Amino acid sequence: MRLHGYFRSSAAWRVRIALNLKGIGVEHVPHHLRRGEQRAPDYVALNPQGLVPTLQFADGTALTQSLAILEWLDETHPEPPLLPGDPLRRARVRAFALAVACDTHPVQNLKVLARLRGLGLEEAAVVEWAAWVNREGLGACEAMAAAEPGPFCFGAAPGLADLCLVPQLGNARRFGVDVARYPRLLAAEAAALALPAFADAVPARQPDAEP
């Protein structure tokens, strides 16, 4: 399988962690988002949104949207599971993941920030937009995980919530968010990054990483 991604894309980063956790090797195909490579016609034929990641099989079949890819991975490669077995617990973990993947990340991605710049916003206002989105999302996630057992977001094993959390905290720091406000999330992040599956997935360790 090939994973079309970009070292800094937090959506691709989620999938890298899951592949590592499940011990699935893939060929990494980087697309430089800041240079617009994701809008090349060949790539848009695979991923009509022109976004990363895309997981592509040897027969050409392409799966898009990180959470759809993660659910597919969990259904077809169930060990270790990314979701608990109980439907109510699954719903809680998914809600946390979606709070990041729907209401946080897409509102501060490269495309949206570029649009804001195009509207004439100064760079400081663009960064404050992204920081605001992260504070809103991470503040809610802190509350959603507050009563859950640790060390991970939802208990003793890492899962879908942690996969979404760790890259989002990376974004939040890039935009200057004071992440010390989220001690429960930072504890889960520390537990996650102690695992090779998470440590090996960080942007700086990807083949297309830039300083």
Q: For the CB of residue 196, give the shortest distance to a second copy in the complex, in Å.
A: 27
* Contacting residue, 26, 110, 121, 127, with a second copy by CB under 8 A: 121
Q: Closer to a second copy at the Cβ: 116 or 195? A: 116
Q: Which region among 69-77, 173-181, 185-193, 201-209 touches a second copy (by CB under 8 A)?
A: 69-77
Q: Are 208 and 7 in contact (CB under 8 A)?
A: yes
Q: Kindly list the strands in the beta sheet with 62-64, ordered across the sheet, starting from the edge strand earlier in the chain.
A: 27-30, 2-5, 54-56, 62-64
Q: Closer to a second copy at the Cβ: 16 or 105? A: 105
Per-residue burial over 127-155, b if 16 or more Cβ lie within 10 Å, else e, is bebbbebbbebbebbeebbeebeeebbbe
Beta bridge partners of 152: 155
Report if residue 199 touches a second copy, rule: CB under 8 A: no
Report if residue 103 touches a second copy, rule: CB under 8 A: yes
* Contacting residue, 18, 99, 164, 177, with a second copy by CB under 8 A: 99
* Contacting residue, 26, 81, 132, 157, with a second copy by CB under 8 A: 132
Closest to 37 in 3D by CA, of 4, 67, 60: 4
Burial class of 58 by CB neighbour count within 10 A (0 to 12, 13 to 18, 19+): exposed
- Beta-strand ranges (E) seen in the chain are 2-5, 27-30, 54-56, 62-64
- How many residues belong to the site for a second copy (CB under 8 A)? 42
Residue 26 to residue 205: CA distance in whole angstroms:
15
Beta bridge partners of 27: 2
Residue 46 to residue 48: CA distance in whole angstroms:
6
Report if residue 107 touches a second copy, rule: CB under 8 A: yes
* Contacting residue, 40, 95, 114, 194, with a second copy by CB under 8 A: 95
Report if residue 25 touches a second copy, rule: CB under 8 A: no
Report if residue 26 touches a second copy, rule: CB under 8 A: no
Name the site residues for a second copy (rule: CB under 8 A): 48-51, 61, 63-65, 67-69, 71-72, 75-76, 87-88, 90-92, 94-95, 98-99, 101-103, 105-107, 112, 115, 119, 121, 125, 129, 132, 136, 139-140, 143-144
